[in-house]
Amino acid sequence: MRVVRVRLGKRSYSVRIVRGGLEGVGRFIARRHAGARCAVLSDTNVAPLYADSVRSALQASDLSSELLVFPAGERAKRVKSLQRTWQWLMDHGFDRGNTIVVALGGGVIGDLAGFAAATYMRGVHYVHVPTSLLAQVDSSVGGKTAINLPGAKNAVGSFHQPALVYASLGTLTTLPAREYRCGLAEVLKHGVIRRPAILDMISEQVPAVVQRDPGLLEALVSQSCEVKRDVVERDEREAGERQVLNFGHTFGHAIEVASGHRKRHGEAVALGMLAACRVSEELGLCDSSLRQSLTDCMKRIGLDTNLEPWWRPDLVAHMAKDKKMRAGSVNFVTIERFGHVDIRPIPLDTLTRLVRRGVE
């Protein structure tokens, strides 16, 4: 087991990264919340695989549980699902003082469960049990919770730190290849923005990455969590530095929405990182060799690198609903070299001109 401690005063918690299964999750929850009632939220992909194991682990530690399952996919992150969760919690008698919401699944369930926990009875505890690589290295750490509105991703949400993150690498063995690659995109992002050694680790061990070697995954997950931990501890509520974690996400979210969510989050972020490199080139901050190096790495692990269908001015219009918009400008994360990114406000009309210039 590796443990990454996120130190945020009274809101501090541990990210426990285990090579095995989920049998230890009840024990770690019970250490701080003995006798709690657990509201387990999952989806139709994950629940058949792991819900019984998690509930058995909870029962073994004298923690009772109820299970609520949503249809898998981005559609679960909507107001209707949030209302359903609130009502379900109320109908099952979950109170403010003895409730733990357990998010069992990937980023969608984590965002929904976290936001429900943040708002039900003005806030109850919750625990992340991320079963996707993307959730283990990104969405489960940092306390961001949200749901979508039509045409706007993560438009409504709150900051609500989990009580514990229990990341079982064993769950990654059942992860579909496409979802696994989505998680690798976020791992790459952490290497790009803060720790280039992660890029070297992936580039030098592609077969082990593709084969999901447990030792390598343990290193990649823990190092990614450390990168995010370091940023979150300095800027918990995204007032400044934490925005560097959005590298690739401005274009990425726009690509997700424009594709009708046919592009998964990690796939869109991968393309968004290449777009951010290209914007940085147009601004004279770096040359094309950086983008080419990142493209080569992405190709070797099976990520789509065909930016051209998405490098178009009309995509910028989707950014007008971005949470990072300020007075007509978007706080865009640019790059100079691996390990060194910056946040700069770019007016949308300027961004449109940069994209248009790049296609002429």
Mean pLDDT of 213-227: 97
Between 127-141, 254-268, 286-300, the lowest mean confidence (pLDDT) is in: 254-268
Kindly name the residue from 195, 229, 265, 324 that is annotated as catalytic. 265
Is 246 known to be catalytic? yes
Is 238 known to be catalytic? yes
Check residue 104 and give its pLDDT: 98
| In a shared domain, residues 143 and 282 | no
Would the pLDDT of 294 be above 80? yes
Between 5-9, 115-119, 334-338, 349-353, the lowest mean confidence (pLDDT) is in: 349-353
Check residue 322 and give its pLDDT: 73
Give just the sign of the alpha carbon dihedral 260, 266, 271, 274: positive
Is 23 known to be catalytic? no
| In a shared domain, residues 346 and 303 | yes
Would the pLDDT of 212 be above 80? yes
Q: Are 284 and 323 in contact (CB under 8 A)?
A: no
pLDDT class for 6, splitting at 50, 70, 90?
Answer: very high
Give me the CATH number covering residue 126.
3.40.50.1970
Cα-based distances in Å from 223 to 103, 127, 134, 197, 329: 22, 21, 13, 10, 32
Is 122 known to be catalytic? yes
Residue 240 sits in which domain range?
Answer: 183-359
Average pLDDT along the chain: 95
Check residue 359 and give its pLDDT: 58
Is 78 known to be catalytic? no
What is the rounded CA–CA span in Å between residue 103 and residue 65?
12
Kindly name the residue from 153, 154, 181, 186 that is annotated as catalytic. 186
| In a shared domain, residues 86 and 209 | no
Cα-based distances in Å from 52 to 37, 104, 132, 352: 16, 11, 18, 50
Give me the CATH number covering residue 265.
1.20.1090.10
What is the rounded CA–CA span in Å between residue 280 and residue 264?
24
Closest CA to 184 of 270, 105, 111: 270
State pLDDT tens for residues 73-109: 999 999 999 999 999 999 999 999 899 999 999 999 9
Would the pLDDT of 225 be above 80? yes
| In a shared domain, residues 253 and 324 | yes
Kindly name the residue from 33, 55, 128, 144 that is annotated as catalytic. 144
Would the pLDDT of 360 be above 50? no
Kindly name the residue from 179, 226, 238, 256 that is annotated as catalytic. 238
| In a shared domain, residues 277 and 313 | yes
State pLDDT tens for residues 153-188: 889 999 999 999 999 999 999 999 999 999 999 999
What is the rounded CA–CA span in Å between residue 173 and residue 281?
38
Would the pLDDT of 203 be above 90? yes
| In a shared domain, residues 207 and 352 | yes
Is 265 known to be catalytic? yes
Is 80 known to be catalytic? no
Is 45 known to be catalytic? no
